[in-house]
Structure 1
């Protein structure tokens, strides 16, 4: 990147940060439960979860991250212990533990919590194979947690973000049944288009069988390199087929975003003025604003 390009990027980042700080994050009328999913790994799914959650919490909103991936990367990125001794989403789904007893407050913000994952989560598929209500266990547990908070006089959660594993197994199905929305992070590359089509069909099937309110509400382009023709062509295709769902904010390739988890921190807190952190703050604000607009449209249609 040339010297002039670097200065242009710095100016753009400062302008975006100023805009985010001045406009703030609108609070949704109800708790938004968002499953963040992609059947292809390595697309920035977990980075999107933890950094959007961090930005929302930094903006004063109450956020819970559910790490539903046995790799536990979201837990690592949020600085939350997730060894074999730690209670996790496994105990919630398999042993009936309460989310209130498993959720851990992160060190970054009083309003940012995490239900960690451990290696035991890899066994959920087997443990629940013949269990009753096996597709609905996460939804029931989260509904109970929201009631627990209300009865305990705690602030209402504004967001629950579920980091799904990169497969369409029982854990991802649980996340889809629990959620009202699906956010799909995807790279701007050719194979990602095929994966996007398959995933949206899977979401539609889950919606028909288990959760009629479920929609693919948002698609976020990640690891975006605006210099390449391929990235621009893939973006144009996605916006053509999913014009309402595709978010305006694009997340660029960023070394700082990749480095942050090794320090047990989202990049939003670790290097808040880096280009990747600024992009995620902008993305979080766009997500929050979309939720407010959706609620307004719903109210208008109800009144009509």
Structure 2
């Protein structure tokens, strides 16, 4: 059965689970500083995405087990159990076993790093960054949003001011770490909202970022690693870091792209680039320039920088042939895939005007649903 959870958009799962799996789940979640309910939800999604025949788990003598799942996940899970011909108890046991296998003892998962980028301005990088982060946090992930654009649109849209020039900020930790007086985590701000339950934070923009490229030009040390050096201490506190990038092809963008590279201990598709585009010709030109920069950087440092996917933003079919034909061209690429098509509707603009997160302001809007679609896509990439 499922019942609404008054504390948020979750539903109660009442089932049974073998005692040894309950104990292992409890211990492993504590080791990884993960809520058990988030671990179970992640396990169910792994189970849903698994196409291999899974071994049956011995559920004899299973004890009562209850947790909360994101709204709608329990009903989808029960339907999948029926389609696969297994009991709910067996499906849950397999899901927990999968999560335990994916998170072995003593191994902390690598924090995923998603850089939302396009050197063309006005394509909606900020809206996609914010919406993606909100959807991931709504779904139980601990998420950090980084406003890496000196213009500070992301910070402003969420009711925050950019850090004034001369004050400690991300830029201080990138260029002058020896002068930093406080941990970068202390500079992050929680984004309020019942849907996020304290899991969403933002690192505000810094006005000094206007001078970042010139600062990197004279930086003594590996310039491409400055962004990672600054953010590395934060990774243990978050499951995902989403970066709203500036419309730039400079050294600062090199540092962000390098941060998104696939690490040795990381599965392919875990981290990389999410690229907002529009259904018109200049977006295609800008996309080509970004890919040239990415491929050049990857060759220079012998790394893999994956394109997780494209988001066709602000789409309106009423704009005619240019819009519809451009959308088909984006879809025909195949790789990277189109993760979602976000319509050009008023709710996003209204959320910005009221300085509220879109998923709080209009949680059932089509734009909000498309942001959740992007989040689902990057989880399974």
Bin for the TM-score computed over the shorter chain: 0.7 to 0.9
1:93 aligns with 2:174: yes
Consecutive unaligned residues of structure 2, counting only runs of 5 or more, are 1-69, 75-94, 103-108, 262-271
Higher relative contact order (CA 8 A, sep 6+): 1
Q: Which residue of structure 2 aligns with residue 106 of structure 1? A: 191
Q: Which residue of structure 1 aligns with residue 223 of structure 2? A: 134
Aligned equivalents of 1:33, 1:64: Cα separation in 2: 10
Aligned equivalents of 2:258, 2:184: Cα separation in 1: 17
Aligned equivalents of 1:78, 1:87: Cα separation in 2: 20
Q: Which residue of structure 2 aligns with residue 68 of structure 1? A: 148
1:32 alignment partner, one of 109, 112, 120: 112
Ranges of 4+ aligned residues in structure 1 off by more than 6 Å: none
Aligned equivalents of 2:171, 2:350: Cα separation in 1: 28
State the Cα deviation string for residues 91-137 of structure 1 (Å, max 9, x = none).
Answer: 22122144223222222331111111121110112222111222211
State the Cα deviation string for residues 56-85 of structure 1 (Å, max 9, x = none).
Answer: 111111111111100111112233332417
8 Å CA contact retained: 1:68, 1:171: no
Q: Which residue of structure 1 aligns with residue 330 of structure 2? A: 238
Match runs of 1:254-273 below 5 Å: 254-273=345-364
1:56 aligns with 2:131: no
Q: Give the Å deviation of 1:183.
A: 1.0
Q: Give the Å deviation of 1:248.
A: 4.2
Deviates more, 1:221-230 or 1:26-35: 26-35
CA RMSD of the aligned region, Å?
Answer: 2.3
Deviates more, 1:42-51 or 1:257-266: 257-266
Q: Give the Å deviation of 1:210.
A: 3.1
Q: Which residue of structure 2 aligns with residue 157 of structure 1? A: 238
Residues 88, 260 of structure 1: CA spacing in aligned structure 2 closer, same or farther, 3 A cutoff?
farther
| SS of residue matched to 1:33 | strand
1:119 aligns with 2:242: no
Q: Which residue of structure 2 aligns with residue 196 of structure 1? A: 287
8 Å CA contact retained: 2:170, 2:230: no
Q: Which residue of structure 2 aligns with residue 295 of structure 1? A: none
8 Å CA contact retained: 2:273, 2:307: yes
Q: Which residue of structure 1 aligns with residue 255 of structure 2? A: 174
Residues 248, 161 of structure 1: CA spacing in aligned structure 2 closer, same or farther, 3 A cutoff?
closer
TM-score by length of 2: 0.64
Q: Give the Å deviation of 1:175.
A: 0.6
TM-score by length of 1: 0.79
Q: Which residue of structure 2 aligns with residue 22 of structure 1? A: 72
Deviates more, 1:67-76 or 1:101-110: 101-110
Aligned equivalents of 2:307, 2:206: Cα separation in 1: 28
Structure showing greater Rg: 2
Residues 111, 87 of structure 1: CA spacing in aligned structure 2 closer, same or farther, 3 A cutoff?
farther
Consecutive unaligned residues of structure 1, counting only runs of 5 or more, are 1-19, 150-155, 291-304
8 Å CA contact retained: 1:139, 1:179: no
Q: Give the Å deviation of 1:214.
A: 1.0
Aligned equivalents of 1:89, 1:265: Cα separation in 2: 23
